[in-house]
């Protein structure tokens, strides 16, 4: 079974709580606080599996939860970090937010992507000891791990796509020009899923080709099998439009081209500008020089300015020329389509007006204290020793109105701001 679109739930582990403990040892008076920190929660990570070409593995398992970090303990013992959950996906999988449908990441651009980060472990009470507070009887709880529902959508990374009506010979051609072994039979919809094959062009070179299950009129609106697999054409740099040139084609080769072109246009305007090579198949069953419609067909292809290669998937005639022309054309085309994220990292944290109201700013002495549930969870994502992470931190505070609230509270240049134990001088 071929599955290329599926919805899953993922959750990173929660951070462990810090410990409240005091040093106890014979002959040692007032040993002081020694509560250890909680461990970090495990992350949820997508990793490319080069041997997979379907999302079938997600058919029965759709919930992935990483391990929580363990709590700290006495003796300054740090809790164990939670184990990450690594989810293998085929190369070319697009990760979308299920609620909005917006793209988070395209697995064609990297081997790994961390989709949910584990919560940060809480501090033990030893961090809160001061000259005036020598016996802190409190510790910090771990923060929650991120969670979300995702839609995984597979768009194959084939550079060349074979398209056309059912039973025109796409699978037969793919089996002759590559090592792919698709199911081949003389009836419609033999191919129920895209087949991939590596086409060798010599000297270690080649390209990846896929035959897309037969399109029919109305495929763009869900008819037949075409609608389910049109997405796999999206990345193709070149389309091989296979047409039955024999007399068995009741529709005729010219009308076949027009109707498939219309379905591609209805699915995506971008596909209409995708380069095409017309592959006139079944020349073994056609008197090429004697049939008037054959001449009309070649004249039409010249009119729409598409190169034509006449082939026979049965005898192999013309296939070498087809591979050569496809390889030469690919050299002139831009690289595979890569989908950019629709959501910037800071945009994921944009709050509703109700959420923003939960952000509180109060002044304690000379310090402006900022609090809010979303802020507590957010702080676990920031590495304050990293410049880029600090810039991300600043952008989120601006977009979510925290800086505006501080100004309303009377903050001025050089004042100290405290957000859950992280203090900084206000400079804007």
pLDDT value of position 69: 96
Does residue 423 surpass a pLDDT of 50? Answer: yes
pLDDT value of position 78: 94
Q: Strand 85-90: give its sheet, edge to edge.
A: 85-90, 44-49, 112-116
Does residue 184 surpass a pLDDT of 60? Answer: no
Which element (helix H / strand E) includes 166? Answer: none
Q: Which residue has the higher pLDDT, 64 or 223?
A: 64
- Pairing type for strands 93-97 and 147-154 reads antiparallel
Cβ atoms within 10 A of the Cβ of 287, count?
A: 10
Does 92 lie in the same domain as 12? Answer: yes
Would residue 335 count as lying in a domain? Answer: no
pTM across the whole model: 0.70
Which domain does 76 fall in, by range?
1-154
Would residue 340 count as lying in a domain? Answer: no
Does 381 lie in the same domain as 325? Answer: no
Q: Which residue has the higher pLDDT, 376 or 274?
A: 274
Would residue 319 count as lying in a domain? Answer: yes
Does 302 lie in the same domain as 376? Answer: no
pLDDT value of position 224: 46
Question: 275: Cβ–Cβ under 8 A, 6 or more apart, which residues?
Answer: 237, 238, 239, 329, 333
d(CA 123, CA 360) in angstroms, rounded, equals: 22
Q: Among the three residues 95, 124, 154, which one is the final residue of a domain in this structure?
A: 154
pLDDT value of position 228: 60
Q: How many domains does the chain fold into?
A: 3
pLDDT digits (tens, 9 = 90+) for 265-300: 887 788 888 899 999 998 876 666 667 888 899 999
Question: 213: Cβ–Cβ under 8 A, 6 or more apart, which residues?
Answer: 166, 189, 191, 192, 193, 194, 225, 226, 228, 229
Q: Which residue has the higher pLDDT, 230 or 185?
A: 230
Torsion of CA 369, 370, 372, 373, to 10 degrees: -80
Does 191 lie in the same domain as 147? Answer: no
Would residue 341 count as lying in a domain? Answer: no
Does residue 99 surpass a pLDDT of 90? Answer: no
Predicted confidence band of residue 2 (pLDDT cuts 50, 70, 90)? low
Write down the mean pLDDT value for the chain: 83
What CATH number corresponds to the domain at position 398?
3.30.300.350
* Ramachandran quadrant class, 92 (left: phi over 0; alpha: psi -120 to 50; beta: rest): left
Does 306 lie in the same domain as 209? Answer: yes
Distances in Å between the Cα of 196 and the Cα atoms of 154, 157, 264, 338 are 14, 9, 20, 19
pLDDT value of position 335: 85
What CATH number corresponds to the domain at position 28?
2.70.210.12
Does 121 lie in the same domain as 14? Answer: yes
Predicted confidence band of residue 189 (pLDDT cuts 50, 70, 90)? very low
pLDDT value of position 15: 92
Beta bridge partners of 244: 281
* Ramachandran quadrant class, 71 (left: phi over 0; alpha: psi -120 to 50; beta: rest): beta
């Amino acid at each position: 079974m071929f599955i290329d679109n599926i919805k899953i739930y993922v959750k990173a582990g929660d951070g462990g709580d810090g410990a409240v403990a005091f040093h106890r040892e014979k002959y040692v008076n007032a040993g002081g606080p020694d509560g250890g920190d909680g461990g970090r929660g495990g992350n949820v990570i997508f990793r490319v599996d080069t041997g997979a070409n379907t999302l079938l593995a997600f058919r029965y398992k759709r919930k992935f939860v990483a391990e929580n970090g363990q709590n700290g303990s006495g003796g300054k013992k740090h809790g164990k970090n939670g184990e990450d959950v690594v989810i293998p996906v085929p190369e070319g999988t697009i990760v979308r937010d299920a609620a909005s449908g917006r793209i988070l990441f395209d697995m064609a651009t990297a081997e790994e992507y961390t989709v949910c980060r584990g919560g940060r472990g809480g501090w033990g009470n030893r961090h809160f000891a001061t000259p005036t507070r020598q016996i802190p009887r409190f510790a910090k709880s771990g923060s929650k791990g991120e969670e979300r529902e995702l839609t995984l959508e597979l768009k194959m990374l084939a550079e060349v796509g074979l398209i056309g009506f059912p039973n025109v010979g796409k699978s037969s051609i793919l089996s002759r020009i590559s090592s792919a072994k698709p199911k081949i039979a003389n009836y419609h919809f033999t191919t129920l899923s895209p087949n991939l094959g590596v086409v060798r062009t010599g000297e270690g070179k080649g390209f990846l080709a896929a035959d897309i299950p037969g399109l029919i009129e109305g495929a763009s609106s869900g008819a037949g099998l075409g609608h389910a697999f049109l997405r796999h054409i999206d990345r193709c740099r070149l389309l091989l439009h296979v047409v039955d040139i024999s007399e068995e084609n009741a529709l005729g080769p010219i009308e076949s081209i027009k109707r498939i072109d219309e379905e591609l246009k209805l699915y995506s305007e971008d596909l209409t500008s995708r380069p095409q090579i017309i592959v006139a198949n079944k020349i073994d069953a056609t008197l090429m020089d004697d049939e008037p419609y054959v001449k009309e067909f070649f004249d039409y292809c010249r009119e729409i300015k598409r190169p034509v290669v006449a082939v026979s998937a049965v005898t192999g005639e013309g296939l070498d020329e087809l591979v050569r022309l496809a390889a030469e054309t690919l050299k002139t085309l831009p690289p595979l389509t890569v989908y950019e994220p629709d959501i910037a990292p800071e945009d994921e944290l944009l709050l509703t007006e109700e959420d923003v109201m939960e952000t509180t700013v109060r002044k304690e002495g000379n310090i402006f204290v900022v609090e809010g549930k979303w802020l507590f969870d957010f702080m676990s994502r920031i590495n304050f020793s990293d410049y880029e992470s600090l810039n991300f931190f600043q952008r989120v505070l601006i977009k979510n109105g925290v800086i505006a609230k501080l100004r309303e509270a009377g903050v001025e240049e050089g004042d100290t701001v405290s957000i859950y134990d992280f203090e900084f001088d206000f400079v804007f």
